Chains A and B, each alone.
Chain A
């Protein structure tokens, strides 16, 4: 993405934010079943994932340290996630980024791999492994690859699965609120 592109995106993102401020409470769930609003629903889910997740000690230790949300995607529709920016989770401001480098990923608290490109997924997961990064994917087999939360669709509703082992490996803990609505996958003993 070019800088110009980014600027344009930013402009359009600001517009969308405006839209969201005005429309989000009313249109959020209504838009859910529609394909165009898929990322909007997912954005809400991702926001709540962040809310119901407890990062390990040392991470987000400072009260004013931002919660960094990284998106790796090729789908421009996923830009709607940028709207989560400036929201807060437990007093931590959300920062939405599209990491360009591996170094950037290491600073992320949540990594959304909004792609079905298995290579990208594998690199992303590999990069996140061993770090307290909540990885979210949307491709079947994502959890088997070591991802922690994966979106899927059932009865035309967005659902998600949780790999508790991966979460444990990443030293992340989930609220029961999240777990009760999730499909739990445990790989090994």
Chain B
């Protein structure tokens, strides 16, 4: 309890003492007052009686004017020592007889006569009593009584009252000290209990009641009731919480169960779907096999029939069979994808070659329709990318096929771009392939649906445009298999643009053939791994330099000002620094000067790359300590030529050979001595094992067999670095994917020629050194 606030105990004692004191005081005052009044009353009554008696006795004395007798009567007052003076007045108010107590001065002057009455002054009671005889007032008697006795008595009373109050106070103090506990103790207990509860948060504690039924009992009951309530609520809350946890556990379990069930169901569904797809795939295969025979024999028959009408029938059969085959093939592909039977086979692919092959395939129809086909490959696209070529061809083929089908006028554009992306993995690029047309377009609300199986664009006339409606579905699946995404933009009657984005397409390691850079008709520079630091504040400039060297094993570092350049130079010790002149923070000249003054870095060659073409500038720049100054703009070959002296490299002279390849931008076929060594082995394989496959493919006419053969050719072409062999395989694959039976047959027939070509190639190379 805080000491400055009186405790309930103290308050109770004070209240009791105060009450007791006031009561005692009031009672005493009442008592004393009553006593005084009674005393006075009695005194008055006594004296009045006495006066009447004396008056009556003095009647005769009065009427007979007998003063002596009167005074004798008055002397009876001697028995009352309080009476200090008395006198009798005659009827007319004159003093008739007087009396004075013994020892008193005689000289007390009688007051003026008054009717029967009395009054008190501080010292005396004055009493007048008239004397009547037969209703006639014959005189008045006056008595003066001393109040000293009363004062004494009053003092005694006051003393007693004082003692009583003191004693009463003391007794009240003792009693209240004991009795206050009746009230204060349970309250203090209650307070203590409440404190304990609030400190310990233990709501199971109860305040003790001790059989109380008063208000404090009610209070304690209420308090306990409240505690009970809190406790039960707390318990409820706790239970609820636990219940909640249980509930969560239960729900989680239920959820897990449901999830498992769902997964099982999904697996079952997928298995079922796969089974269906497998069935479809097998069915398709089974259907396709006889279809090949139908087509093949139709072809043979066509050559034998001369009748025009019969020839027309055969054309119809062929067209229908081809349509059927296309449909079956699409279904097969889709089924394979869904049955997860399709596996991607990554190999080095040249996009341009793929695009050009497709152009070849559609060239007839494009020409017929009077369309224009534009191939647009960004220069920074690596020449060799690791992709599944067959599937990539299929994707482009489908998209271009659609474009050709739905375009009556205008152009079709096939483009490839690199997407710039931060955190791009090394040796990989993001590709965006675009197939754009100026055809009939697709309605906005159909854009989503066109990738769904068996859904062609609403209102699209199947009769007019044909197709299975599976092309785009397969395309989408294939793109997704390659971890890519396909989207479409279109406007009715304006055209459509399909975008295929393939992420993280690895750049293929050049198998020696693509490593060198042609700097002239017959000169090739092949860089060896080295580090080049490009210091330029403009990012495009740095990118351009990198693009110029993109097929080299050179590693590039970048810095956007001189200071940063020096820091990186110190950190990485590059083999060459290409330095811009105008840069913020520190320009190229200052940076180069600093480099030249550094003991360690001074040996690093620094080449300036400046936009300034003034002759004076050139000299001034050279004065900064550059090893070489190049002026922008600069051609790739020029840059390579000028930088080569500062980097480890190999320069090769090339004999003019296979110019058509050079025209196509591909690395020229170079048969290295190692390759030449292995060619006889290749020829043997081609003539034995491959010949068997070739034979079977020709015999059965099964596309699967033909495709298998084509793939093998392509692989061998890569493995032995024999271009014509690769070409042959690619051609066959493309033809298979378009079911171009005629071309397939032609290509297959050309197989022996191919072997001959390789043989002669080998011969030429092996003989050449001997010849000179």
List chain A positions with a Cβ less than 8 A from chain B.
25-26, 28-30, 32, 44-45, 48, 51-52, 157-160, 175-178, 180-182
Contact = CB atoms under 8 A, between A and B. Distances in A.
A177 B91 contact: no
A29 B61 contact: no
A177 B59 contact: yes
A157 B65 contact: yes
Return the 10 tightest CB-CB contacts between A and B, nearest first: A177-B60, A181-B66, A181-B64, A48-B63, A180-B69, A181-B60, A181-B69, A177-B59, A180-B60, A181-B61
A52 B133 CA distance: 12
B91 A180 contact: no
B60 A52 contact: yes
User: Which of B66, B69, B133 has its CB near the most chain A CB atoms (within 10 A)?
Assistant: B66
Greatest chain B CB density within 10 A among A29, A44, A178 is at A29
Contact of B92 (A30, A157, A158, A182): A30
B61 A180 contact: yes
Contact of A178 (B60, B65, B91): B60
Contacts of B476: none
Nearest to B57: A177
A51 B138 CA distance: 14
Contact of B60 (A25, A157, A158, A175): A175
B64 A45 contact: yes
Main secondary structure of the interface of A (DSSP, over half): helix
Interface residues of B, number: 14
A160 B64 contact: yes
Contacts of A181: 60-61, 64, 66, 69
A32 B65 contact: yes
Main secondary structure of the interface of B (DSSP, over half): mixed
A38 to B, nearest CB: 13
A30 B133 CA distance: 20
Interface of B: 57, 59-61, 63-66, 69, 90-92, 133-134
16 contacts: A25-B91, A28-B91, A32-B65, A45-B63, A45-B64, A51-B134, A52-B60, A157-B65, A160-B64, A175-B60, A176-B60, A177-B60, A177-B61, A178-B60, A180-B66, A181-B69
A28 B134 CA distance: 17
Contacts of B64: 45, 48, 159-160, 178, 181-182
Nearest to B66: A181
Contacts of B92: 25-26, 29-30
B296 to A, nearest CB: 186
A28 B69 CA distance: 20
A173 to B, nearest CB: 15
A51 B134 CA distance: 10
Nearest to A32: B65
Nearest to A45: B64
A48 B64 CA distance: 8
A171 to B, nearest CB: 22
A95 B122 CA distance: 54
A44 B65 CA distance: 11
Nearest to B59: A177
A46 B19 CA distance: 72
Contacts of A26: 92
Contacts of B57: 177
Nearest to A174: B60
B63 A158 contact: no
Contacts of B66: 159, 180-181
A44 B136 CA distance: 13
Contacts of A177: 57, 59-61, 63
